[in-house]
Structure 1
Amino acid sequence: MRPLLPTTSTLPLFDVAASRRIEARALLKSPDLMERAGLAIAKLALALSLRHGDGPIWVVCGPGNNGGDGQVAARRLAQHGAAVHVGHDAPTRPSLVIDALLGLGLNRAPPAGMLATLAAMQACAAPILAVDLPSGLLGDTGQAAGERAVRADHTLTLLTLKPGLFTGEGRAHCGRIWFDDLGVLPDEASTAELLGRAPRPHRSETSHKGSHGQVLVVGGSPGMQGAAQLAARAALACGAGRVYLELLGQPAGDQADPGRPELMRGTSDDVPQAVGVIGCGAGSSIAADLWSLLQLPRVVIDADALNAIAADQSLQALVRSRQPGMTLLTPHPLEAARLLGRATADVQADRLGAAHELAARLHCSVVLKGSGSVIASPGNRSAICASGGPALATAGSGDVLAGWLGGLWAQQPASDAHAVACAGVDAHGRAGESNDVLRAGDLIERLAAQR
């Protein structure tokens, strides 16, 4: 058993169907699997309860294997001398709640009786340890199945890691995530991946600025120059050899960024082999320029450029016609909803599914931003980023991500969009792990300091 985050390597994720298959085969091979699960729960519960008074540990068990794990944990705790209360009625001032009510078995909204138990668990003021998944949370999507899901302080997930722990509302409901594989190695391929830290591009001792590629940032229409400048600064901080800015609607002789004299003005005609970072602060005028900008060999498309593509089927066809692995879209949920022609709530209801559908529809790689950003590409296993937090919910953080991705890609011309997205999104998330408000300009410096 170990705390899972931050990740140190890429880990396999298994959806509910795969997790159930793995569990069923493991039970056939190891009849004591439930005993091992219950012991793991009891050990963690005992350690957590000692921090929160001397009241009883309230174990809430449901039907099925999740409840069985809870029953074993209750027995083990009692054998250790802990005061234990098993049932759906709350004891007086419990020191800990073990939520073993629903877990992986949930496939529909909890009935009214269970909703009352969920409310009682939440209201008792004791910390909550969820078994496998917080009750009411869907393992594939990280969304509540009905009107309520437990908000746990700790979640001990068993056997496999489920996508819903890390995306959608998962992180908000799971608290600190612990993992115990119970000594069972999955015997089938994962359905997705949880990102780990990726190495930075290698810089040879004999390299020069021409060795590290070029980035062209196109955007920054009048009043929104800061968005493009943030993206350009991020590409520069990432290590791109030369970074150019095409500020839409600005005189060509104006300085690219007075605060960063290293940045230069330029156009796609000047640097036709540059990685294009297109759309940051661009406004609606970007639509006319996309026909030429999409001729650049590698492009990161963000913000207003995404909205222009969503509104024009001809531009969508142009994106689809590009060489595989050379196009990366970075929408937030509303932009993804526009591209898919559906409501934002529908996108958030199944973030993995929405990212996969958008990638398949436009034949490109997609970063669906948000809590547990999802990376999806045709022919690749989808990935979820477990790093990051609410400090990234600030103006300009998406522009920084777009520029950082462009900077990475400039230095790794042989990499495809999916690999670049996985590395860049994880780095961006780790730099954004802060308990304070984080300004986008400061985020760039934190990214650079990770090198």
Structure 2
Amino acid sequence: MHPLLPTTSSLPLFDVAASRRIEARALSHSPDLMERAGLAIAKLALALRRGDGPVWVACGPGNNGGDGRVAARWLAQHGVPVHIGHDAPSHPTLVIDALLGLGLNRAPDNELLTTMAAMQACGAPILSVDLPSGLLADTGQPAGERAVRADHTLTLLTLKPGLFTGEGRAHCGRIWFDDLGIGPDEAPTADLLGPTARPGRSPTSHKGSHGQVLVVGGAPGMQGAARLAARAALACGAGRVYVDLLGQTASEPADPGRPELMRGTLAELPQAVGVLGCGAGPGLAGALPDLLHQLPRVIVDADALNAIAADHGLQALLRARSPGSTLLTPHPLEAARLLGRDTTILQTDRLAAAQDLATRFGCSIVLKGSGSIVASPGERPAICASGGPALATAGSGDVLAGWLGGLWAQQSTSSAHVIACAGVDAHGRAGETGQVLRAGDLIARLAAQR
């Protein structure tokens, strides 16, 4: 058993159907599996408990409740006072939430909702078993009006996607994992991203060895977005970074604060990695056909996404591009526009929405948000567990787009999916701070990572 985050490598994720299959096969070979699960819960409960009051174990009728009852037995054997039931004891020192777990397939009934509310109100820390009760394992969304907000979640046997995306991180608290000594015996449903090494540099390399990036955007009044993207690409290590500031005269500097950045256009840089849309406004739509037709690799963000959502011709151009050459980075509202859906509905299953976008446009997708999703045609999707609310600030998406462009400039043979996985995880890790993070400071944190 160990705390899961931050990850040190990529890890396999398994949805409900796969987790049930793995559990069934494990039970057929290891009939003591529930005993192992209960022991793991009890060990963590002993480490988390503070004080002399009872441990309240709220058990449901299924395997999750069985795990809780075994844990209660182990705790009692160690002299810990234990209360099993749906009613709260006086002054509990810990609550073990073993109500629902993986078995949830509908909204909790009123009796369970009452117990969940009492657990939340009792004042003791909550340790959820496998998943916080009421949270859907595949989507990270509450199944009904409420899901438990745990302080700790011990997930058992497999890692589930819903722990890491949607509302999962807000409900799970600190996530712990115990595989109970059972290795998965089938392919994962998705991957949980881990850190990726930055591109290396040869001792004989020069600026021409590390590619070119062309940032197209920065309409009047919105130049900051394009400049943030360009600064991020430069900090990432791209050899040359150019900015095409829409609606600006050629004498306007690319970035007065960064003289390393240069002005450039598609006509001058047809082989650059394009970062399209940061602060572009509506004026980019007319230039997009040429950009999408000529640039070999593109990251499409912000106003470029909105233009594509409104134009079937641009959508056809996306689908006609070479496989692995295009990366879209929508936030949920932009993704909803691209799919013609309501944002709230899209957010109910982020993994499926990202895969739908990848299939519809034949592109790699980064669906941003808590637990960003990377999806690409023919690739296993990935979820980013790094990041936090410090990234919820103006310009952080522009920084991500530019960083992705900088990575791709240096790794010209890598697919959009590979670049997306590496860049999204690095961006998230740089944003792990308890303070509000300005976009310019985010670039400095990204550059400082090793």
TM-score clears 0.5: yes
Counterparts of residues 206-245 of structure 1 (less than 5 Å): 206-245=204-243
Q: Name the CA distance, whole Å, in 1 between partners of 2:430 and 2:209.
A: 26
Q: Name the CA distance, whole Å, in 1 between partners of 2:167 and 2:19.
A: 20
1:123 aligns with 2:132: no
For residue 149 of structure 1, give the secondary structure of its aligned residue in structure 2.
coil
Corresponding residue for residue 440 of structure 2? 441
Q: What do you get for the CA RMSD once the two structures are aligned?
A: 0.4
CA offset at residue 346 of structure 1?
1.2
Q: Name the CA distance, whole Å, in 1 between partners of 2:23 and 2:424.
A: 32
Task: Select the residue among 281, 284, 296 that pairs with 1:283.
Answer: 281
Counterpart amino acid of residue 369 in structure 1: K
CA offset at residue 344 of structure 1?
0.3
For residue 285 of structure 2, give the secondary structure of its aligned residue in structure 1.
helix
CA offset at residue 55 of structure 1?
1.0
Over residues 320-351 of structure 1, what are the superposed CA-to-partner deviations in whole Å (9 max), with x where a residue is unaligned? 00000000000000000000000001111000
For residue 358 of structure 2, give the secondary structure of its aligned residue in structure 1.
helix
Corresponding residue for residue 310 of structure 2? 311
Corresponding residue for residue 416 of structure 1? 415
Q: Name the CA distance, whole Å, in 1 between partners of 2:442 and 2:91.
A: 43
1:98 aligns with 2:96: yes
For residue 26 of structure 1, give the secondary structure of its aligned residue in structure 2.
helix
Over residues 379-408 of structure 1, what are the superposed CA-to-partner deviations in whole Å (9 max), with x where a residue is unaligned? 000000000000000000000000000000
For residue 288 of structure 1, give the secondary structure of its aligned residue in structure 2.
coil
1:385 aligns with 2:384: yes
Q: Name the CA distance, whole Å, in 1 between partners of 2:173 and 2:428.
A: 18
The size of the alignment, in residue pairs, is: 449
For residue 393 of structure 2, give the secondary structure of its aligned residue in structure 1.
coil
Counterpart amino acid of residue 367 in structure 1: V
CA offset at residue 233 of structure 1?
0.1
For residue 73 of structure 1, give the secondary structure of its aligned residue in structure 2.
helix
Q: Name the CA distance, whole Å, in 1 between partners of 2:185 and 2:171.
A: 29
Counterparts of residues 194-209 of structure 1 (less than 5 Å): 194-209=192-207
Over residues 74-99 of structure 1, what are the superposed CA-to-partner deviations in whole Å (9 max), with x where a residue is unaligned? 00000000010000000011000000
Q: Name the CA distance, whole Å, in 2 between partners of 1:218 and 1:326.
A: 17
Over residues 228-257 of structure 1, what are the superposed CA-to-partner deviations in whole Å (9 max), with x where a residue is unaligned? 000000000000000000000000111100
Over residues 148-172 of structure 1, what are the superposed CA-to-partner deviations in whole Å (9 max), with x where a residue is unaligned? 0000000000000000000000000
Over residues 197-216 of structure 1, what are the superposed CA-to-partner deviations in whole Å (9 max), with x where a residue is unaligned? 00111111110000000000
Corresponding residue for residue 22 of structure 1? 22
For residue 285 of structure 1, give the secondary structure of its aligned residue in structure 2.
helix
Corresponding residue for residue 133 of structure 1? 131
Corresponding residue for residue 187 of structure 1? 185
Corresponding residue for residue 147 of structure 1? 145
Counterpart amino acid of residue 376 in structure 2: S
CA offset at residue 413 of structure 1?
0.1
For residue 282 of structure 2, give the secondary structure of its aligned residue in structure 1.
coil
Q: Name the CA distance, whole Å, in 2 between partners of 1:240 and 1:306.
A: 24
Q: Name the CA distance, whole Å, in 2 between partners of 1:125 and 1:345.
A: 32
Counterpart amino acid of residue 359 in structure 1: A
Counterpart amino acid of residue 390 in structure 1: P
Corresponding residue for residue 86 of structure 2? 88
Q: Name the CA distance, whole Å, in 2 between partners of 1:253 and 1:324.
A: 37
TM-score (norm 1): 0.99
1:341 aligns with 2:332: no
Corresponding residue for residue 47 of structure 2? 47
Gaps of 5+ in 2: none
Corresponding residue for residue 402 of structure 1? 401
Over residues 97-147 of structure 1, what are the superposed CA-to-partner deviations in whole Å (9 max), with x where a residue is unaligned? 000000000011001110001100000010000000000000000000000
For residue 284 of structure 1, give the secondary structure of its aligned residue in structure 2.
helix
Counterpart amino acid of residue 288 in structure 1: G
Q: Name the CA distance, whole Å, in 2 between partners of 1:66 and 1:252.
A: 65
Counterpart amino acid of residue 378 in structure 2: G
Q: Name the CA distance, whole Å, in 1 between partners of 2:439 and 2:323.
A: 31
CA offset at residue 192 of structure 1?
0.1
Q: Name the CA distance, whole Å, in 2 between partners of 1:156 and 1:229.
A: 43
Q: Name the CA distance, whole Å, in 2 between partners of 1:23 and 1:219.
A: 51
Q: Name the CA distance, whole Å, in 2 between partners of 1:286 and 1:128.
A: 50
Q: Name the CA distance, whole Å, in 1 between partners of 2:185 and 2:433.
A: 37
For residue 252 of structure 1, give the secondary structure of its aligned residue in structure 2.
coil
Q: Name the CA distance, whole Å, in 2 between partners of 1:448 and 1:155.
A: 33
Over residues 9-43 of structure 1, what are the superposed CA-to-partner deviations in whole Å (9 max), with x where a residue is unaligned? 00000000100110011001000000000000000
Counterpart amino acid of residue 324 in structure 1: P
Q: Name the CA distance, whole Å, in 2 between partners of 1:286 and 1:130.
A: 49
Q: Name the CA distance, whole Å, in 2 between partners of 1:80 and 1:258.
A: 67
After TM superposition, the runs of 4+ consecutive aligned structure 1 residues lying more than 6 A away are none
Counterpart amino acid of residue 32 in structure 1: D
Q: Name the CA distance, whole Å, in 1 between partners of 2:51 and 2:246.
A: 62
For residue 281 of structure 2, give the secondary structure of its aligned residue in structure 1.
coil
Counterpart amino acid of residue 122 in structure 2: C
Q: Name the CA distance, whole Å, in 2 between partners of 1:347 and 1:203.
A: 41
Q: Name the CA distance, whole Å, in 2 between partners of 1:292 and 1:252.
A: 20
Q: Name the CA distance, whole Å, in 2 between partners of 1:291 and 1:437.
A: 38
TM-score (norm 2): 0.99
CA offset at residue 6 of structure 1?
0.2
For residue 155 of structure 2, give the secondary structure of its aligned residue in structure 1.
strand
Q: Name the CA distance, whole Å, in 2 between partners of 1:180 and 1:318.
A: 47
Q: Name the CA distance, whole Å, in 2 between partners of 1:110 and 1:70.
A: 18
For residue 260 of structure 1, give the secondary structure of its aligned residue in structure 2.
coil
Q: Name the CA distance, whole Å, in 2 between partners of 1:405 and 1:346.
A: 28
CA offset at residue 223 of structure 1?
0.4
